[in-house]
Structure 1
Amino acid sequence: MLIGYARTSTKDQEYSLEAQIQRLKEAGCEKHYQEQVSSVDAKREQLEAALDYIREGDVLVVTKLDRLARSVANTVEIQKALEKKNAGLKILDMDIDTTTPTGKLQFNLLAAIAQFEREVMLERQRVGIEKAKAEGKYKGRKSISEEKKKKILELLAENGQTKEAIAKAVGVGVATVYRVKSELSLG
């Protein structure tokens, strides 16, 4: 089954959403999910619903890559989730269909280029940080408040919650919970 996904960033883009849905129907999508939400700030509930609905042999179809994901790396994550279900991805404007050998090749090239770009960017960032440190301008990341540390320690002491649940409750990353726990062990 072909399952379409259409998204616009704002409610003002009604025509664009309608145009995407029309293209998805023309491509043969029997079912489609749509939402009007920014891919950056908000949870994309309809995308999650589409990914949950997809079964073996199904293909998720989007009109353009930027309608699906925040970045190529995010697209790769979505593709891996589809692959686990033995499902495919089709991007109409790029003529990529991961259910074909050529489509898989195109997709993997795109992913490899994205990974290369990310690594180059991280290397530039490391060089910049080293230079800033050498010039005494780098201060590092601001530590979390003592109040948040205290709350993390309280929740850790309760032993009933996962690190992920604690992080969500306090509003920090999971790594921060581990770091606070580690500091407790060292202290």
Structure 2
Amino acid sequence: MAVYGYARVSSVGQSLEIQQEALARAGCSVIRSEKVSGTSRQGREELERLLEFVTEGDILVVTRIDRLARSMRDLQDIFHELKSRGACLRATEQSIDTSSPEGKAFADILGVFSEFETALRKERQMEGIAKAKAEGRYLGRKATARAKSEQVLNMRQEGIGPTAIARQLGISRASVYRIIGKK
């Protein structure tokens, strides 16, 4: 039986340290961490890696259920995947242990509230954006790459490669190629 930990934060500016420490205290022998946003499992490579190698009797530990999934569908899929492998899920900050019927029920309830909270937050965000647009205050992100078009073209003429240009100017390689292609 192995105890695996999974830590996730939504943005690059957030720290994984608190979750990692809690998972270590919970006895996790392996802790996988990632900084990935979104409401689905897409792009969560560390989670997928963990789910691939859990086996009979293993335990997957998270600090809170919302670190694992933000939608009921994903949460249920993860529960079923763990169950089919003979593994269970525990949360350090919530009374969740899917090895018991009570723990599974509680996890389901929390999952519903997590999904509801995400939907409300998205709705409020869209309302705020719509209001700001109507008032002429929402202009979107500034076009950083386009503002550097002249620099990109000059650097390219000097023989500097697209990857180096992108790094030096703090823009994506795709932007560099787009600018070079328009000249």
What TM bracket, shorter-length normalisation? 0.5 to 0.7
Deviations, residues 134-179 of structure 1 (Å, cap 9, x unaligned): xxxxxxxxxxxxxxxxxxxxxxxxxxxxxxxxxxxxxxxxxxxxxx
Q: Cα RMSD over matched residues?
A: 2.5
Q: Flag structure 1 segments of 5+ consecutive residues without an equivalent.
A: 122-187
Shift of 1:74: 1.4
Shift of 1:109: 4.9
Aligned to 1:157: none
Check the 8 A contact 1:7/1:17 in 2, yes or no.
Answer: yes
Matched residue SS, 1:60: strand
Distance (whole Å) between structure 2 residues aligned to residue 93 and residue 53 of structure 1? 24
The within-5 A match list for 1:20-31 is 20-31=19-30
1:4 counterpart = 2:32 = no
Aligned to 1:68: 68
Matched residue SS, 2:4: strand
Closer/same/farther in 2, CA of residues 87 and 106 from structure 1, 3 Å limit: same
Deviations, residues 37-68 of structure 1 (Å, cap 9, x unaligned): 11337510000001001111101110011111
Distance (whole Å) between structure 2 residues aligned to residue 39 and residue 21 of structure 1? 20
1:57 counterpart = 2:60 = no
Q: Flag structure 2 segments of 5+ consecutive residues without an equivalent.
A: 120-183
Check the 8 A contact 2:65/2:110 in 1, yes or no.
Answer: no
Q: Which structure 1 residue ranges, 4+ long, deviate > 4 Å from structure 2? A: 108-111
TM-score (norm 2): 0.56
Shift of 1:110: 5.0
Shift of 1:94: 1.5
TM-score (norm 1): 0.54
Distance (whole Å) between structure 2 residues aligned to residue 7 and residue 26 of structure 1? 17
Q: Which has the larger helix fraction? A: 1
Matched residue SS, 1:69: coil
Aligned to 1:83: 83
Counterpart amino acid of residue 61 in structure 1:
V
The percentage of counterpart residues that share the same residue type is: 41
Aligned to 2:34: 35
Counterpart amino acid of residue 69 in structure 1:
A
How many residues are aligned here?
A: 114
Check the 8 A contact 1:3/1:58 in 2, yes or no.
Answer: yes
